[in-house]
């Protein structure tokens, strides 16, 4: 670093800025590649361009120097500096002043080298931004920790990291495109809330000075979006960051991006159809409807099966299981099939354990698991024909939960009963149970149209399309401070 620091100082002292505010760039590297793609090996033009980029390879040979510039998300182009064309001083300065990692500006003719590499043959060059810190080596992967701690360096040296940035933007754009086309309005709702609700999770706590009030960061988007539907925003969604104060590992991040969509006059079936369209829209934007996953090939374009959860568990244990199957019987099934469950769990939670252990991992193709017991989702509507069940589904693709949807509960009386029960659990020490949100109940009391709603974790969706872990889908994930 000290030597590069000296180079910077030397440049500045000699009147050549190390960090000029402007250089006369005429073309991006991508434009040069596109416009002069037709050049034959060794063909030279008199077309003059000014290009910029970060020096990622450098090959200085006596009187002819080569460097590879890298621009933006991955375009590269070679530049050449010949003694005959830039002159002795400029070539000597290039050799002494330019290091790997520097941004440079090169002006010259577009040519194809004798080996057929499209290049800019320099007539002059200029430092555009001097790098003081050496780049990581390009030929070995950085350790996973370095990648995450210094994502900027990871982005410089690793194409997959750059691709992830583009893919994530394409996914967000495709989702907004599908929703906009169908008349959904995107809204923003408060991240700082008085009461956490809409999901089962531990919140982060904070304090608002202005009100001298304890606040929580939102764990879901649900309640505010439903209030918007009450007010007449019939098709509404929010895609934003939510916060859960829980474990951090390859599939869990304490903050992640969630999409929730609400559709007045819809139900679990119509919202399921929308879920499929969202997935297909994203698939078409980033690649293919057929995905290769570690568990096998997934065809998103096929029929998405609806599978009632009691049928699925019955098949898995080889016995008929219903909402009325006693707790002890379920515990016996669990023991028989090697599913470890806390013996103190209530009946329906034992059932959900069986479902997630015995059924979900085996579902490769897109499947809506449906007809859940009521305990699974406190905000879903009781089933229109099956007593004790609710109208809710979980979407499983490649063995992993990818999203959820309901016919939403809009009866304010039943909703109050359900939330009161939840708040009693919370008071009883269940840290994930919901609190009673009186403002939400008041909104429902004004009357809410029947509606379907869905929730979708964007990062998990991207993990499916890119086969990456969650720390790679999030550009700057959380790590403990360096020692």
Partner RNA sequence: GGGCCUUUAGCUCAAUGGUAGAGCUGCGGACUUUUAAUCCGUAGGUUGUGGGUUCGAGCCCCACAGGGCCCA
Residue number, 116 or 388, with CB nearest to RNA: 116
Residue number, 148 or 463, with CB nearest to RNA: 148
Residue number, 335 or 479, with CB nearest to RNA: 479
Task: Decide if residue 113 touches RNA (CB under 7 A).
Answer: yes
Q: Interface mask (CB under 7 A) for RNA, residues 386-415, using x and -? A: ------------------------------
Q: Say which residue the tokens 């449906």 belong to.
A: 370
Task: Decide if residue 57 touches RNA (CB under 7 A).
Answer: yes
Residue 251 tokens, joined:
């599939």
Distance CA 396, CA 402 (A): 6
Alpha helices in 87-230 (DSSP H): 88-97, 144-149, 151-157, 159-181, 222-230
Residue number, 157 or 370, with CB nearest to RNA: 157
Residue number, 78 or 268, with CB nearest to RNA: 78
Query: In the set 40, 212, 340, 346, which binds RNA (CB under 7 A)?
Result: 340
CB of 111 to RNA, least distance (A): 8
CB of 354 to RNA, least distance (A): 14
Task: Decide if residue 90 touches RNA (CB under 7 A).
Answer: no
Task: Decide if residue 115 touches RNA (CB under 7 A).
Answer: yes
Task: Decide if residue 119 touches RNA (CB under 7 A).
Answer: yes
CB of 361 to RNA, least distance (A): 10
CB of 59 to RNA, least distance (A): 4
Q: Which residues is 476 bridged to in the sheet?
A: none
Distance CA 36, CA 27 (A): 12
For 133, 155, 426, the CA distances from 149, given in Å and listed in that order, are 16, 12, 37
Among positions 292-331, residues that touch RNA (CB under 7 A) are: none
CB of 33 to RNA, least distance (A): 13
Kindly report each contact of residues 463-467 with a partner whose C-beta sits within 8 Å and lies 24 or more positions away, as own/partner: 463/251, 464/291, 464/293, 464/298, 464/397, 464/398, 464/400, 464/402, 465/167, 465/171, 465/282, 465/283, 465/286, 465/287, 465/291, 466/164, 466/167, 467/292, 467/293, 467/294
Backbone Cα Rg of the chain: 29
CB of 192 to RNA, least distance (A): 27
Among positions 234-263, residues that touch RNA (CB under 7 A) are: 247, 249-250
CB of 144 to RNA, least distance (A): 5
Q: What is the DSSP letter of 135?
A: P
Residue 62 tokens, joined:
């006596």
| For helices 327-336 and 347-354, angle between their N-to-C axes, nearest 10 degrees | 30
Secondary structure of 263-288 in HEC code, one letter for each residue: EECCCHHHHHHHHHHHHHHHHHHHCC
CB of 113 to RNA, least distance (A): 3
Query: In the set 51, 148, 239, 464, which binds RNA (CB under 7 A)?
Result: 148
CB of 71 to RNA, least distance (A): 16
Query: In the set 9, 144, 299, 328, which binds RNA (CB under 7 A)?
Result: 144
Task: Decide if residue 84 touches RNA (CB under 7 A).
Answer: yes
Q: What is the DSSP letter of 358?
A: I
Task: Decide if residue 61 touches RNA (CB under 7 A).
Answer: yes
CA 297 to chain centroid, in Å, comes to 22
Query: In the set 145, 292, 417, 467, which binds RNA (CB under 7 A)?
Result: 145
| Interface segment toward RNA; rule CB under 7 A; list 96-104, 160-168, 309-317, 420-428 | 96-104
Report which of 179, 263, 200, 275 is spatially closest to residue 228, judged by C-alpha positions. Answer: 263
Residues contributing to the site for RNA (CB under 7 A): 3-4, 7, 57-64, 66, 68, 78, 80, 82-84, 96, 99-100, 113-117, 119, 134-146, 148, 247, 249-250, 340, 469, 471, 479-483
């Amino acid at each position: 670093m000290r030597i590069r620091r000296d180079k910077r100082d030397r440049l500045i002292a000699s009147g050549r800025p190390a960090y000029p505010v402007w250089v006369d760039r005429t073309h991006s590297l991508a434009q040069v590649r596109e416009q002069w793609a037709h050049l034959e090996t060794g063909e030279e033009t008199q077309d003059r361009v000014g290009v910029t980029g970060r020096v990622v390879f450098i090959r200085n040979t006596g009187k002819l120097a080569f460097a590879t510039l890298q621009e933006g998300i991955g375009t590269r182009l070679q530049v050449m500096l010949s003694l005959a064309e830039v002159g002795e001083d400029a070539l000597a300065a290039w050799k002494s002043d330019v290091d790997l990692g520097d941004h440079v500006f090169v002006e010259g003719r577009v040519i194809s080298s004798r080996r057929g590499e499209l290049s800019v043959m320099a007539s002059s060059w200029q430092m555009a931004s001097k790098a003081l810190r050496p780049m990581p080596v390009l030929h070995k992967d950085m350790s996973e920790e370095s990648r995450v701690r210094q994502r900027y360096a990871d982005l410089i040296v690793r194409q997959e990291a750059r691709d992830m940035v583009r893919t994530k933007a394409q996914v967000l754009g495709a989702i907004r495109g599908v929703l906009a086309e169908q008349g959904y309005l995107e809204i923003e709702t408060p991240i700082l809330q008085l009461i956490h609700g809409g999901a089962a999770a531990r919140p982060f706590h904070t304090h608002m000075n202005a009100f001298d009030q304890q606040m929580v960061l939102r764990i879901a988007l649900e309640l505010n979006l439903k209030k918007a539907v009450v007010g007449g925003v019939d098709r509404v969604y929010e895609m934003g960051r939510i916060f859960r104060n829980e474990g951090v590992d390859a599939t869990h991040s304490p903050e992640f991006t969630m999409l929730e969509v609400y559709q007045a006059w819809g139900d679990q079936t119509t919202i399921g159809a929308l879920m499929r369209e969202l997935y297909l829209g994203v698939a078409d934007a980033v690649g293919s409807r057929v995905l290769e996953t570690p568990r096998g090939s997934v065809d998103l374009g096929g029929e998405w099966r609806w599978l009632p959860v009691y049928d699925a568990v019955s098949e898995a244990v080889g016995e008929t299981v219903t909402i009325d199957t006693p707790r002890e019987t379920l515990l016996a099934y669990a023991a028989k099939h090697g599913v470890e469950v806390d013996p103190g769990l209530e009946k329906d939670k034992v059932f959900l354990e069986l479902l997630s252990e015995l059924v979900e991992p085996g579902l490769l193709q897109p499947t809506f698991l449906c007809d859940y017991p009521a305990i699974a989702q406190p905000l879903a509507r009781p089933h229109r024909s099956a007593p004790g069940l609710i109208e809710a589904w979980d979407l499983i693709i490649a063995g992993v939960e990818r999203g959820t949807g309901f016919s939403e509960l809009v009866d304010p009386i039943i909703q109050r009963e359900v939330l009161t029960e939840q708040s009693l659990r919370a008071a009883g020490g269940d840290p994930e149970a919901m609190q009673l949100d009186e403002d939400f109940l008041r909104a429902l009391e004004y009357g809410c149209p029947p509606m379907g709603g869905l929730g979708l974790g964007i990062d998990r969706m991207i993990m499916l399309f890119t086969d990456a872990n969650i720390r790679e889908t999030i550009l700057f994930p959380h790590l403990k401070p360096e020692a």
